[in-house]
Amino acid sequence: MLEDRDYMRQPAYHEPRISFTVALLIINAVFFVVQLISTNFPNGQEIQDKYFALSLGGLEQFRIWQLVTFQFMHSTHDWLHIIFNSLAIFFFGRPVEMVLGRARFLALYLSSGIIGGVVQTLFALSFKSFDAPVVGASAGAYGLVAAFAVLNWEESFTLLIYFFPVTMRGKTLLWVSLGLAVLGLITPGSGVANGAHLGGILTGFVCARYIFGRWRLELPPRQEPRELAAAGKGKSKFWGSAGNDEELSASEFLQKEVDPILEKISAHGIHSLTARERETLEKARSKISKG
């Protein structure tokens, strides 16, 4: 099961007690409570829709902030809206944040939401049936789903869909998500912002592929075979010691330490990482940020 995987149970080393995944869930819950309270005031719902929900009319009035605020709002008439979005963020966000790091995770999430909102608005501009106030974290959540699919492209995992266990691979999850979004777009009167879903999926996929692709391109050419790099002087060069790690430059650290881990993720999925390999990824992120 997805929730039984090793990286779903153990936090990454040196990570704060509250991850960005949990922080997003808390912010969504706070926004939802504020929405519930404000609807009891005169014109409360109207103010929400006019100024904070995403709408074509709002963007035409240069309320650009709606591309961000709509992501933290949910329908107060349907609690399942926030519940399902929160579950998606929780289960897919945690492993994605562990691999990408906090900054890249947040950038991917917000970018998926913003671009998803832009795509939804473009559909509203072309088809009047799409022109309605949009709220919800589903565009960002679908971005996390797509990123998770990229990280587990050939790996099998089990999801609970309406309490039924379904086993699939990452690439299957991506195609199913895309298919549902497209089907929703061509189904009239669905009442779901499928344009935002489609934009979020495509953004999450492109961001995840770009981040890993760029990371690999920055690696210098190998100077010795992998077998030789792991041997010599009575200790493993692959792991080395804490002192040696600090002496390596960022590019050398990426070549000797991170490259094998990225290859392992590509071949076997992020669930195959050991605790020591997670710690190495944390060190890599630290060295890259310092560089």
pLDDT, tens digit, 9 for 90 and up, residues 84-122: 999 999 999 999 998 888 999 999 999 999 999 999 999
Domain count, the chain: 2
The domain of 44 spans 2-215
Angle at 271 between CA 172 and CA 100, to 5 degrees: 85
Is pLDDT of 237 > 50?
no
pTM reported for the whole predicted model:
0.71
Q: Domain check: are 128 and 7 in the same one? A: yes
- Same domain as 225, residue 180: no
Q: Do 95 and 37 fall within a single domain? A: yes
Enclosing H/E stretch for 98 = helix 79-100
pLDDT at 255: 64
CATH assignment at residue 49: 1.20.1540.10
CB contact at 8 A, 67 and 239: no
Q: Are 225 and 201 part of one and the same domain? A: no
Tokens coding 159? 């999801």
pLDDT tens readout for residues 30-72: 999 999 999 988 888 999 999 999 999 999 999 999 999 999 9
Residue 160: phi and psi, rounded to 5, are -95, 110
d(CA 198, CA 179): 9
CA neighbor of 226 nearest in space, from 187, 177, 188, 259: 259
* Whether residue 151 is found in the same domain as residue 282: no
Asked whether residue 167 falls in the same domain as residue 109, the answer is: yes
Q: How confident is the model over 221-237, as a mean pLDDT?
A: 37
Whether residue 127 sits in one domain with residue 68: yes
Whether 157 has a pLDDT exceeding 50, the answer reads yes
Cβ-contact 222, 255 below 8 angstroms:
yes
Please check whether residues 93 and 232 belong to one and the same domain. Answer: no
Q: What pLDDT sits at residue 268? A: 65
